[in-house]
Amino acid sequence: MSGDIYKILYCSKNLIEGEHAQQDAEISQILQAARRNNKEQNVTGALFFNSSYFAQALEGPKLAIERIFEKIQRDPRHGDVTVLSSQTSGQRDFPEWSMAHVAPPDEVASASMAVTLDTALSHPAASADGVIGLLRSLVIQED
Amino acid sequence: MATAQPLPMNLSPSTVIAPRGRNQGVLVFDRSHRVVHASNTLPALLQLPSEASLLGEAVEQILRLSFGEKGATASAITQWLDQPATLSCAVIEPPLVLLTAADARVIHATLCSISEQFRIATFDDMSPMEVQSNAPALAYRDPLTGIGNRSLLERKLDEALIRLRSGEVESVAVLFLDLDRFKAINDTLGHATGDELLRLVCGRLQSALRVSDTLARMGGDEFAILLTAPSGREVASALAARIIDLIERTYLIDGQIMNVGASVGLAVAPCDGVTRDDLLKNADLALYYSKAAGRGVFHFFEPSMAEKAQLRRTLEFDLRKALVLRQFELHYQAQVNAENGSIFGLIASLRWRHPQRGLLLPVEFLPLAEETGLAIPIGEWVLRRACRDATSWPDSVTIAVSVSPLQFESDKLASSVEGALHAVELPGNRLEIGVTEEILLRNNSSVLKTLTALKALGVKVVMDSFGTGLASLSQLVNFPFDKINIDQSLLAATQDDVKSRAVVRAIAVLGDSLGIATLAGGVETSEQLMRVRSEGCSSVQGFYCTKAVPAGELAALFVTLIPPFSSERLDRSDP
C-alpha cells in the first residue's frame, strides 16, 4: 500500500483490577480483538503493559487510526492517556505485527521499561523515540 | 431497458418500496450504486440527512456515514452490493449485520435484485425495543449529533416525573454538562473540527450510559443527561466522574490532537425539585457553580447556590446602574524605569465605589461585566476618563489602559480609542493599550487589523500579563507589540524557582533582541526588584514602588523619587 502511514504512540495507567491471571486474561482478550480488527484495516502496532502502565503504538491509515484511538479512549480499563507522539511517516515501526505483545524477557528489561514510561509521562514530547525504540527492541527479542 | 434509469413503473414508492414501519428503511439504487429512491424513514433510522439529499449519492458513501467501518469495511460493503443475483426479484444472501456508528443499534441489511438495473437494500432495526425507542424522531433529534435535543429531554423528564409521583421510581437525576475550552478549538481549528469533536463527545457520553438514560444536546457545547431508575446520588456521582474522565481524554481529529474538559452540575428529584423547570434550573445552577469552582469537576445542587445566584443578579442590577450613577473611579499605579526609578507611565486601575459594599476591586466585578456585556460601555468610560486625567500630567508620562477581550472583539476598539484621544487632544503616543494573551488565540487577521489600526493612531500596544501559559513566545512575535508586561505570577514564585526565573529571563532577552520593552508587574519586595533587574527587565510596576492611588494624589508622585530608588533604600537592598 502506498501513501502516508499515520502513527500514534500513547501511555496510560492500567486500571484493570484483580490478580495477575485475571489481568493476563484481559490483556490477551484485548490483543486478540486488536489483531482481528487491525488486520482488516491495515493497522499494525505494539502493546506493552505492566501492573501500572500501558504503552501502545498504532500505525496505519489515518481514518482507521483515529477510529481505533477513539474506541481505545472509551475503554474503562485504562485512564490518564498521554499521547507521546502523533505523526505521519513513510514507514512503519512494526510492519509485521497486527498488534505485537511486548513482554520484557527479564527483570532488567521490565525495570528499564518502567523507568522509561515514568519519564515519558512527565516529559511526553521528549521521550517518544525512546519508548518506540524500547518497544521495538523488546518485540524483536520476544520473537 | 432505458439508459436514463427511471424507476420502473411497477415500483412506485407506495407499493413495493414502502417501508413496513418506522424501524425499516428502504434504499433503491442503480447499477452504478447511485441512489434513486430513499424511504422517508431512512434518515431517522440511519441518522442521515434528509432523504432528498441522498438521491444520486453513492450507496457506499451513505453506509459509511451511518455505520462508520464498524462491522464491515468499505470493500466488504462494495462486495456485498455487487454480489451476483441468479434470479431477478430475488433476495440475495447473505444479509449484512451492521452497527450504527452513533448509537450502536443493530441493523440487518437485506439486498434484493428487482431488475437488471435496480437493487433494493432494506434496513431493519433489530436492536432490543428499549434501544430502538432511544433513537429519537426528527422533531426530538439534534441534527448535528443524532442524539436527542432539548425537547426530547423535557418530554422524557416530564414522563419520569410522572413515574416519580406515582411512586414507580424513587428518584430522577438531571445532569448538565458543559465543555471547557471548546470555544478555543472552534476558533482556532474551525467549525468542521468543532462539529466533529461534538460528535465524538456524544459517542463517549453514550458509551457511559445505560439504555434507560436519555442524552440530549441542549445547544452549543451543552449537554444534558436524564437518569431514571436507579438514579440516586451515588449512581449519579459515579457517572459524573466517569463522564468527566472520558471527555477529558485526548481527541484525535484529522491528524490533530486536542483536549477539552467538562464541567458537570446535578440536580436530583425529589429533594432538589419536583417540577421540570426547577430541576433544569437547579442542575444549571450547579453547573454554573462547577464552572466557577475551576472546571473539570461536578457538584450537586445546593440551596446556597440559588442564594449566590440571587446575589449575582443583584450585583448585575447594581452594575448596570453604576455608570449612570458615576460610581466608578480610576486609580493609578506608577510604571518606573528599573534602573533609576523615574516614572515614565501610570497604569489605570478601575474601582467601583458601591453604595453598600464599599470600594470594590476589578476582580470583584469585571468577570460579571465581561459576562453581561457591560465591559464594553465600562471600558469606554475608562478610556475617556484616563485620557482626560493624563492631560494634567507631565508630557513624558504615558497612560496605560488595559482593555477586555470583549472590548477587543467588538470591532469598535480603534474608533473608541480615537474618540477618547481626540476629545481631550491627547497625542496618541501618550496612550498604551494593554491586551490579554487570550486575544492572541482568536482569529488572527481581525486581531491584527485592530492592533494595526491602534498603532496607526500612534498608540503603543502592550501585551498584558504575559506568561500565564495561554500564548506562546512565537505568537507573541507575530504581533507588533511595543511592550511586554510579564505576569506577576512569575515573580510571586520563590527565589529558587528556577523555571519561573528562566521564563522571566527568556522574555526579557526576547524583548531585548526584538527591541520590545519588558515590564515586570507585581513587584512587591526589594528582592524581587533586584531579581527582575538582573534578569534584564527594563521597567517595573508593583506595590513595592507605589500602590495604586486616586488621580488626586498623583501630583506628589511626580515631584519626588519613589522610595525604593531613593539612595538610602537602594544602598540597603543592593548586594
**Using one digit for the tens of pLDDT, what is the confidence trace for B65-117?**
777 765 566 677 777 787 776 655 667 767 777 777 666 677 888 888 777 78
> For the purposes of burial, counting CB atoms within 10 Å of the CB of B516, is it exposed (0-12), middle (13-18) or buried (19 or more)?
buried
CATH number of the domain residue A51 falls in: 3.30.70.100
Please tell me the total count of domains within chain A: 1
Distance CA A47, CA A100 (A): 6
Looking up cell 472590548 gives B407
Q: Do A74 and B251 touch (CB under 8 A)?
A: no
CB proximity list for B125: less than 8 A, separation 6 or greater? B23, B24, B45, B105, B106, B107, B132, B135
Distance CA B296, CA B181 (A): 11
The verdict on A3 touching B (C-beta cutoff 8 Å) is no
User: Using one digit for the tens of pLDDT, what is the confidence trace for B39-56?
Assistant: 888 877 887 766 767 888
E strands, B356-437, are 358-360, 398-402, 431-435
Residues 5-24 of A with CB under 8 A from B: 6, 8, 10
B199 to chain A: nearest residue by CA? A70
Using pLDDT thresholds of 50, 70 and 90, give the confidence band for residue B223. very high
Domain of residue A98, residue span: 5-142
Distance CA A70, CA B199 (A): 11
| Cα B112 to Cα B15, B38, B81, B109, B122, distances in angstroms | 15, 15, 10, 10, 8
Distance CA B312, CA B314 (A): 5
Q: Do A66 and B253 touch (CB under 8 A)?
A: yes
Distance CA B561, CA B570 (A): 12
Sheet strand arrangement including A100-102: A78-89, A5-14, A53-60, A44-49, A100-102
For chain B, give the mean pLDDT: 84
Distance CA B65, CA B68 (A): 6
Q: Which residues of B touch A70 (CB under 8 A)?
A: 200, 203, 251-252
Mapped to the 3 state alphabet, what secondary structure does A35-91 carry? HHHHHHCCCEEEEEECCCEEEEEEEECHHHHHHHHHHHHCCCCEEEEEEEEEEEECC
User: Using one digit for the tens of pLDDT, what is the confidence trace for B405-424?
Assistant: 888 877 789 999 999 999 99
Q: Are B537 and B520 in contact (CB under 8 A)?
A: yes
What's the complex ipTM? 0.85
The verdict on A54 touching B (C-beta cutoff 8 Å) is no
Q: Are A66 and A20 in contact (CB under 8 A)?
A: no
- Strands A100-102, A44-49: pairing is parallel
Residue B112 grid cell = 434484493
CA angle B178, B183, B185 (to 5 degrees): 115
Q: Do A83 and B251 touch (CB under 8 A)?
A: no
Average pLDDT over residues B468-486: 78
- Give SS3 for B388: helix
Using pLDDT thresholds of 50, 70 and 90, give the confidence band for residue B218. very high
Distance CA B188, CA B444 (A): 9
Nearest one of B400, B394, B383 to B332, comparing CA atoms: B400
Distance CA B228, CA B269 (A): 10
Q: Are B530 and B497 in contact (CB under 8 A)?
A: no
Query: Number of helices (H) and strands (E), helices first, in chain B?
Result: 22, 22
Using pLDDT thresholds of 50, 70 and 90, give the confidence band for residue B136. low
The verdict on A66 touching B (C-beta cutoff 8 Å) is yes
Q: Do B68 and A86 touch (CB under 8 A)?
A: no
Residue B5 is predicted with a pLDDT of 45
User: Using one digit for the tens of pLDDT, what is the confidence trace for B323-345?
Assistant: 889 999 999 999 999 888 889 99
Q: Are B386 and B399 in contact (CB under 8 A)?
A: yes
